[in-house]
Structure 1
Amino acid sequence: MFQITEFMKKLDELYQKKQFSGIESYLNNGINDALGRHDEGTALILLNELMGYYRSVSRHADCAEAAEKALALIRAMGLEGTVNHGTTLLNAATGLRAAGEKDRAEEACRKAKAILESQLPAEDYRLASLYNNMSLLYAAMGRLELAAEYARKALERIEQNPDAQAELAISLSNLGGMYTRLGQSERAHRCLERAVRLFEQLPGGDDPHYPAALCALAELHFHQGEPEKSAELFRRALGLIERTYGRNDDWQTTRRNLAAAEDLIARRNAVKNKTGMELAREFYEQAGRPMLQQKYPEYACRIAAGLVGEGAECLGFDDAFSVDHDFGPGFCLWLTREDYQAIGSRLQADYQALAARWPGAPARNVTPEGTNRVGVMEIDEFFRRFTGHTHAPKADSWQDIMTWNAIPTDRLASAVNGQVFEDPLGEFTRRREEFARYPEPVRLCRLGQALGRMAQAGQYNYPRAKKRQDADMMYACLAEFVSAAQETAYLLDETYMPFYKWRARGMERLEYAGSLIPLLHRLMERPAADGQAEETIEAVCACIAAELKRQGLASVEDTFLEYHKREVLQRMQQMLQNDGAEKECASMPSKKAARIAAIVDEEWRQFQQVQNEGGRASCQDDRDTFGLMRTSQFTPWAEEVLASYQQDLKRAGEEGWNLLTEKYARMMEHTAPQQYARLADRLPERSAERLQLQELLISIMMRWTREVERRCPHLMGRGRNLSSEQDGPWNVSSETYLRGELGTYSDETLRLYAQMVLELLSQGKNLVEQNMTCMARGYGYRSLEDAENACAAQACTGRP
């Protein structure tokens, strides 16, 4: 008979003496011995022990193989559906989870759960082990709410058993980890502190789960900005893991985490409460300027130095939390194109060597997202990187305004923030002054748009969402309202709005935002259905309206910001030197331009009457973008096609029919087929021959579209999806949009349009390319290629 008691006693001795190399052979010999004696029950016990050993030393493939052998033995013994089967499945799932095979682990867990819940009493502590393991699995899968639910179920079972202190500590540790990942720090801290105290009180103090609790608590302290506490806990865990399991995967991970905590401590001590800007200036003055004077004396009087661009230190918002990434001594050196070509590469190499050996602070800890923020830069490329332009655009026409509007405001903020330490040549400073603030027509345009978003989201759609008791819609409206209110505050202060995470912080510096800040905080902190939300929204709008009046930008007394928006945009129009619509394409004959303007005006009138199921769409308040897009489409058209389509619009207006409503209704055949079925019989019927012609035209246009996409992937990537296969209720592809539009043309207009398309095709021309070229010029670019290059440059820049 196999002496299992003696065998397990010697196994415990091997663990206690840290004789890990002998454990595997000892267990395998025991398994073979038990099987030789036909003692399958003992062999099953030892196979489960072997799985645990393989998990502890990170030999995941061997663990999975042992699990397969154990499950095969279960089947051979006829023990399927028993507690032993459930326990073995659970051990197998734990090994599969450690090996990263999460789907197989979940399947094993579900089978184990079905067996154990049916075979064990509800209060049995072994169910706690099941729930703990399921919690860990779902945490690894990113399903945190479900993970927390199972961790709480485990805790409920364990707390009923006063003798199960080890199991209670394990459950508390797991639940604390879930709360950490869910962002519930206070709950996490309570659970993990209690778990660590319980582990410390256990006999021996070497429970294999103890290091995990220490690491979880250490991680929590690290993210709360307490690296000293974090490092002390990581050190304790590192020693325990090495003594228990050796230098396995968990030991390696803990060592890396300890190194990160120690690095953060060292960085904080080194900078001694200096800001990133102070550190940059000190580095430049102590090392940078002497290096320039010594190695580049003929260029030193032409090089600008400072710290401008991305990162909290450029905004003056860096703090103790900032030093953990992309922080450390660094400055920018800006050169003209000629100087950069002459010495740029050599100067960059000298800069990097200087940064590596400067004793004033540890070198910058650069992440992949934080590269190229400091060092040697060419002035033109610096401004192109952030704005897409080497010089600030003009602001004399609507076309110029659209060019400005295409530049993200946070990128403009990055181009002009920070400090310039010295600029003897003055070129970099002059260029910064060009971009320092929005020209007044641009500011008024953006201000009008922001006011419209506030009115629509907060004063119109939020009350409607509340009546519907639609919480998701209410939250969306409040988020849009707060975002628009923040942008409005920055525009009223004539300041660029920074990257989204710094917007609220930056508002504290604005001259006119003092009364807004507590009101916006109130909207963000309270539930979406809060009874005072509408009152708070109106208070915000009243503050904005008062400031608009104080600055002489609006005269109306009403607090409904849609009225203020109209007045602000009218002021913008008065400031423009030229009508942007007449300059969409300089070569366009005046008669054709007038016809296109009339078509766009009538389309806009009909567009205002389109009834959207979810309320008025934001694009129905954006006349400027609508005008640019539609003008770009019509500019390449032949005169006879334009005349015919203009007649279509006129006839529809006389008959009380809305071609824009018809267009969106026809799109619903692909985006919302059930709703389309209810209204299809109200639409004008189209013959089979006509539909065949439409599909031919669509195939040609989509081929042209894909040709442009291949040439301009970044520009086209900002627009609609291409194929109808990508349609959804809120996503309309280019193909579906075109199908809807062609469906509204009269037979005569479609015939003329087809004649134009086929003629262009025979000439090797691309109508979509012509449309996109007009649009690019409308946004201020000289060509389609320039627009693509600007989009590509913006896509390549990181985010702070």
Structure 2
Amino acid sequence: MEFTPGLAVSRRLYDEVVAPALGAVPHAAGRVDSGSDVLGFDTARSMDHDWGPRLQVFVRDRATAAAARAGIVLPETFHGIPTRDHGEQIGVTVDALDDYLTASLALPDPANPTTDDWLALPTQRLAEFTGGAVFRDDLGGLTAAREALRWYPDDVWRYVVAAQWMRIDQEEPFVGRCGELGDDLGSRIVAARLARDLMRLFLLLERRYPPYSKWLGTAVAKISTAPHEALRKAVRADDWRQREHHLLEAATRAGERTNEVFGTAEDPTPRPFHDRPIMVLGAARFARALEPERPMTGAVDQWVDSTDVLSLVGRARAAARGLNRAGLGPNDR
């Protein structure tokens, strides 16, 4: 079967099947949940699971949702693509809009998120919800929520970028320290972690929500300001000094870009780590230039690395709430 991007398939399903079934019922419809197609990263390989003629329909209330759900009957296949799994229709969901927004974002008011709300939302979910496509919105609430979450407010953005810089500061000497101890594997692992953090930093600097690991490199490849070759060389290098050199090249560019974007004036020249024969950028300088006061815990996916937490927004919010209750959150001194 010839590959057609999933969003195009979903749009066709809406136009040809779902919209006629709904008739005059006021509704919103689109693909704003999850999947590689929502991010525009799907390929022919994606067709083997959780892909195809899928979309979400939103109406005003639960009673309308139940009636609309009963009225949408999909064919067994749509342009050759199955719409059922073991007899169950899997392609179209119908929900009351407020119910969906509460469940999928775990926000009390999706159109007016607070700072704590922002920091409790994983960037993968933000990328999905603000990406994807809306095919129709009679209700207005879906569009309003997507616009409200399109990007961080400036103060939250500065804070998240500062926290990303602090992550880099916490490990940047370890490529060399592992290396001089003869721990080449440890040095490689730290270098890969730093490359990942730098990749996320470049996305944040360009106002892009970093996706989860499978799509991180694909997303960064679309960023012209990222030092792609330096990052590739850093993770390929067989000598720790070369790793250090290429990571510093990438970090220097990140420092320059931070100055350009935020108007900071930190010197991005690498420097020795104390009196040791190890070079670092001194990334904490950029963190403190952006956010001189608050603890650098950052957004939830800057300190949680569990898919079982980050893929469920309620759990991510609970984790962030727990951090704040412990007095370790961004609003604690």
What is the TM-score when the length of structure 1 is the normalising length?
0.35
Counterpart pick for 1:484 among 197, 204, 212: 197
Trace 1:277-292 onto structure 2 (pairs within 5 A).
277-292=7-22
Trace 1:225-240 onto structure 2 (pairs within 5 A).
none
Matched, 1:274 2:4: yes
Cα distance change, pair 716–421 in 1 and its aligned pair in 2 (3 A): closer
Query: Hey, what does 1:775 align to over in structure 2?
Result: 325
- The one-letter amino acid of 1:497's match is P
- The one-letter amino acid of 1:547's match is R
Counterpart pick for 1:522 among 227, 233, 236: 233
Matched, 1:381 2:99: yes
Query: Hey, what does 1:596 align to over in structure 2?
Result: none
Trace 1:345-494 onto structure 2 (pairs within 5 A).
345-351=66-72, 353-354=73-74, 356-357=75-76, 359-364=78-83, 374-392=92-110, 400-458=114-172, 460-494=173-207
Matched, 1:562 2:284: yes
Matched, 1:552 2:262: yes
- The one-letter amino acid of 1:457's match is E
**Deviation (angstroms), 1:433:** 0.8
Q: Which has the higher contact order (CA 8 A, sep 6+)?
A: 2
User: Does structure 2 conserve the Cα–Cα contact (< 8 Å) formed by 1:309 and 1:417?
Assistant: no
- 2: distance between equivalents of 1:450 and 1:474? 20
Q: Deviations over 1:121-164 (max 9, x none)?
A: xxxxxxxxxxxxxxxxxxxxxxxxxxxxxxxxxxxxxxxxxxxx
User: Does structure 2 conserve the Cα–Cα contact (< 8 Å) formed by 1:303 and 1:335?
Assistant: yes
SS of alignment partner, residue 38 of structure 2: helix
SS of alignment partner, residue 421 of structure 1: strand
Q: Deviations over 1:320-342 (max 9, x none)?
A: 11111112212211223x2xx12
Trace 1:38-437 onto structure 2 (pairs within 5 A).
269=1, 272-293=2-23, 297=24, 299=25, 302-336=26-60, 338=61, 341-351=62-72, 353-354=73-74, 356-357=75-76, 359-364=78-83, 374-392=92-110, 400-437=114-151
User: Does structure 2 conserve the Cα–Cα contact (< 8 Å) formed by 1:406 and 1:779?
Assistant: no
Cα distance change, pair 282–358 in 1 and its aligned pair in 2 (3 A): same
**Deviation (angstroms), 1:373:** 7.5
Trace 1:618-767 onto structure 2 (pairs within 5 A).
623-625=295-297
**Deviation (angstroms), 1:625:** 4.9
- 2: distance between equivalents of 1:309 and 1:451? 30
User: Does structure 2 conserve the Cα–Cα contact (< 8 Å) formed by 1:381 and 1:390?
Assistant: no
**Deviation (angstroms), 1:382:** 3.0
Q: Which structure has the bigger radius of gyration?
A: 1
User: Does structure 2 conserve the Cα–Cα contact (< 8 Å) formed by 1:330 and 1:374?
Assistant: yes
User: Does structure 1 conserve the Cα–Cα contact (< 8 Å) formed by 2:166 and 2:296?
Assistant: no
- 1: distance between equivalents of 2:94 and 2:156? 32
Query: Hey, what does 1:49 align to over in structure 2?
Result: none
What is the TM-score when the length of structure 2 is the normalising length?
0.79
**Deviation (angstroms), 1:389:** 0.8
Cα distance change, pair 563–774 in 1 and its aligned pair in 2 (3 A): closer
Cα distance change, pair 383–429 in 1 and its aligned pair in 2 (3 A): same
- The one-letter amino acid of 1:289's match is A
**Deviation (angstroms), 1:314:** 0.7
Trace 1:534-613 onto structure 2 (pairs within 5 A).
534-559=244-269, 560=281, 561-570=283-292
Query: Hey, what does 1:689 align to over in structure 2?
Result: none
User: Does structure 2 conserve the Cα–Cα contact (< 8 Å) formed by 1:327 and 1:365?
Assistant: no
User: Does structure 1 conserve the Cα–Cα contact (< 8 Å) formed by 2:59 and 2:94?
Assistant: yes
- The one-letter amino acid of 1:360's match is H
- The one-letter amino acid of 2:59's match is L
- 2: distance between equivalents of 1:366 and 1:493? 40
User: Does structure 1 conserve the Cα–Cα contact (< 8 Å) formed by 2:127 and 2:211?
Assistant: yes
User: Does structure 1 conserve the Cα–Cα contact (< 8 Å) formed by 2:175 and 2:240?
Assistant: no
Cα distance change, pair 549–523 in 1 and its aligned pair in 2 (3 A): same
- The one-letter amino acid of 1:565's match is A
Cα distance change, pair 774–548 in 1 and its aligned pair in 2 (3 A): closer
- 2: distance between equivalents of 1:563 and 1:499? 27
**Deviation (angstroms), 1:489:** 0.9
User: Does structure 1 conserve the Cα–Cα contact (< 8 Å) formed by 2:29 and 2:56?
Assistant: yes
Cα distance change, pair 359–310 in 1 and its aligned pair in 2 (3 A): closer
**Deviation (angstroms), 1:406:** 2.1
- 1: distance between equivalents of 2:84 and 2:223? 32
- 2: distance between equivalents of 1:539 and 1:439? 30
- 1: distance between equivalents of 2:63 and 2:328? 37
**Deviation (angstroms), 1:401:** 3.4
User: Does structure 1 conserve the Cα–Cα contact (< 8 Å) formed by 2:53 and 2:78?
Assistant: no
**Deviation (angstroms), 1:454:** 1.7
Query: Hey, what does 1:45 align to over in structure 2?
Result: none
User: Does structure 2 conserve the Cα–Cα contact (< 8 Å) formed by 1:386 and 1:412?
Assistant: no
Matched, 1:504 2:223: no
Cα distance change, pair 440–450 in 1 and its aligned pair in 2 (3 A): same
- 2: distance between equivalents of 1:287 and 1:342? 21
- 1: distance between equivalents of 2:297 and 2:28? 39
Counterpart pick for 1:532 among 217, 232, 242: 242
- The one-letter amino acid of 1:335's match is V
Higher share of residues assigned strand: 2
Percent identity, aligned pairs only, is: 22
Cα distance change, pair 402–717 in 1 and its aligned pair in 2 (3 A): closer
Q: Deviations over 1:589-644 (max 9, x none)?
A: xxxxxxxxxxxxxxxxxxxxxxxxxxxxxxxxx83559xxxxxxxxxxxxxxxxxx
**Deviation (angstroms), 1:393:** 8.0
**Deviation (angstroms), 1:357:** 3.6
User: Does structure 1 conserve the Cα–Cα contact (< 8 Å) formed by 2:77 and 2:83?
Assistant: no
Higher share of residues assigned helix: 1
Cα distance change, pair 476–778 in 1 and its aligned pair in 2 (3 A): closer
Query: Hey, what does 1:495 align to over in structure 2?
Result: 208
- The one-letter amino acid of 2:295's match is R
**Deviation (angstroms), 1:448:** 0.6
- 2: distance between equivalents of 1:359 and 1:772? 46
- 1: distance between equivalents of 2:249 and 2:288? 20
Aligned length: 301
**Deviation (angstroms), 1:359:** 4.1
**Deviation (angstroms), 1:507:** 1.5
Cα distance change, pair 359–569 in 1 and its aligned pair in 2 (3 A): closer
- 2: distance between equivalents of 1:440 and 1:289? 39
